[in-house]
Structure 1
Amino acid sequence: MWADALLVSAGCFVAAVCAGMAGFAFVMVAAGILLHVMPPSLTAPVLVIGSLIVQSIGTRAVWPDIAWPRLRLFVVTATLGVPLGLWMLATGPAPAIVAGVGALLVVYSGYMLARLALRMAPPQVANGPARDAAVGFASGILGGIGGVVGALPAMWADIQGMPPRETRALLQPFIAAMQAITSVGLAVAGFFTAEALLLATLSVPALLAGTWVGLRAYRVLPAQGFRVALLGLLLLSGLSLLV
């Protein structure tokens, strides 16, 4: 148990640093570490609780900048997409969809990093309620399949050229809301066992420390550095979905 607790704490610390710095990717980074040594039934509740804690702390930091009507649209449409994702998970096409999203993230982030290296200005696409709703719904589907709700909104924010603080003010409360919804589903399904709750509790100091480090890094990062970190984590997210 103590070896598992140390491993969970180490994975949560690394993931919390990434999420504190870029505003998303806690689940993907932590899952990439923990799923190699722990069963999904035990990892899932730990990841959801950890993500909820980290994103809730980050949300407090960007609270004045939250665009509430836009956030509500994302949350509502994503919630509608979750049942479809769960259905896909149960009926079979989920692996192909996850791989397709992973390939999209890899191609997009690789292309944008190449543009940065060549000092080319990023293309910008105007947003709109219909497009936001589509991205939110697709994120909910991906959340239902594998709990990965932040990657598509992060890519969408980058496509629009959103400033770092505005990006975080969308991503962090959105992910926190979706993880709160997910935690209810996991509780109803009986995933919050005594072992899972103990591991999650023991990881809290690492979560807090990692979030603090990540937020400090975010505050000193220039806008371009934030964008590189965001694209790097999108690339890592895509690769994790392909493996």
Structure 2
Amino acid sequence: MNGITVGVLMFGALAGGFVSGLAGFGTALMALGIWLYVVTPDVAVQLVLVCSIIAQTWTMPSIWRSIDFKLVWPFVLGGLAGVPIGTLLVAYADPRLFKLSVGVLLLIFPAALYFQRQPIASNIGGKAADTGIGFVGGVLGGLAGLSGPVPILWASVRGWGKDERRGLFQMFNWTILTAALIAQAGSGLITRETMWLALVVLPATIGGAWLGTRTYHALSDGNFRDVVLGLLFLSGVTLVWSSVPLP
């Protein structure tokens, strides 16, 4: 492994860790496109999974008091039920069509919610609706590692505050990603190369997560909301772009 490769990996880890520490999600959004320049797609995806869990575990103590477990548990319960179904659907889904569909969703809804400043469905459906949203997130997580977008959009629809959202994002994504990592490790999909690279970029991952958490605590409710919607919109652009066939 040469110096350029290590530098690119460290930069991606720093960027991914920062966004994860800031918003409680988004490691793949920042790191994947950087890492793909120096490692194969399968290794890059596995590395995103491992580094996401590392960053979120590292920052968990700093936001622990913000987590409302009464709010979070329906999402986690639904998400864990959805992961195996999403994993089974991998063999049947058209990756390009799936990315295009989710990408369009992430272009339309964050933009609409940005201009809609009032909660739309603060109490509609209650815990049952929250569980259903978590289930959809779990299916998408098992299918393509996209566990976060639907619950994150739902939190904006509900109109929850900064700490409520961040606690939900972090606990939900940490739980779903950890379940996915255990499933992949049990299937022998996590390679020694991935674990070695995760150790190499560990300082950058933790450093980025620390900086992101410091930034999070400095943001107001409105600023945090706009950052989250902006990250979702950027994720939509990335997904649509990657789904368009090259000429």
Give the TM-score, by structure 1 length.
0.90
Instruction: Tell me the equivalent position of 1:33.
Output: 34
Question: Out of 145, 151, 154, which is 1:153 matched to?
Answer: 151
- Aligned to 1:126, which of 122, 129, 132? 122
Deviation at 1:239, TM superposition (A): 1.8
Tell me by how many angstroms 1:94 deviates. Answer: 4.8
Q: How does 1:162-241 map to 2 (within 5 A)?
A: 162-241=160-239
Q: Deviations over 1:159-198 (max 9, x none)?
A: 1111111111111111111111111122122232221111
Note the C-alpha offset of 1:36.
4.6
Cα distance in 2 for partners of 1:93, 1:69 equals: 36
Distance 2:71 2:94 in 1: 30
2:83, 2:140 within 8 Å by CA — same for their partners in 1?
Answer: yes
**1:46 corresponds to:** 47
> What is the alpha-carbon distance in structure 1 between the residues aligned to residue 34 and residue 133 of structure 2?
27
Q: Distance in 2 between matches of 1:41 and 1:153?
A: 26
Q: Read off the aligned partner of 2:34 and give its amino acid letter.
A: I
Moved more, 188-197 or 9-18: 188-197
Cα distance in 2 for residues equivalent to 1:53 and 1:79: 20
Alpha-carbon distance in 1 for matches of 2:37, 2:157: 32
CA deviation after TM superposition for structure 1 residue 240, in Å: 2.1
Amino acid at match of 1:181: A
Q: 1:58 to 1:84 in 2, by over 3 A?
A: same
What is the one-letter code of the residue matched to 1:230? V
> Residue type of the partner of 1:168?
R
How many residues of Structure 1 are paired with residues of Structure 2 in the alignment? 238
* Residue aligned with 2:189, SS: coil
Please tell me the residue identity of whatever aligns with 2:117. A
| C-alpha RMSD of matched pairs (Å) | 1.8
User: CA deviation digits over 1:88-116, x for unaligned, max 9?
Assistant: 22113454333222211110112233x2x
**Identity of aligned pairs, percent?**
31
Runs of at least 5 residues in structure 1 that lack an aligned partner in the other structure: none
TM-score norm. by structure 2 comes to: 0.89
Q: Is the 8 A contact 2:76 2:175 kept in 1?
A: yes
1:57-98 per-position Cα deviation (integer Å, ceiling 9, x unaligned): 232222123222432322221122122212222113454333
Partner of 1:142: 140
What is the deviation of 1:34?
2.1
1:37 is displaced (CA, Å) by 4.1
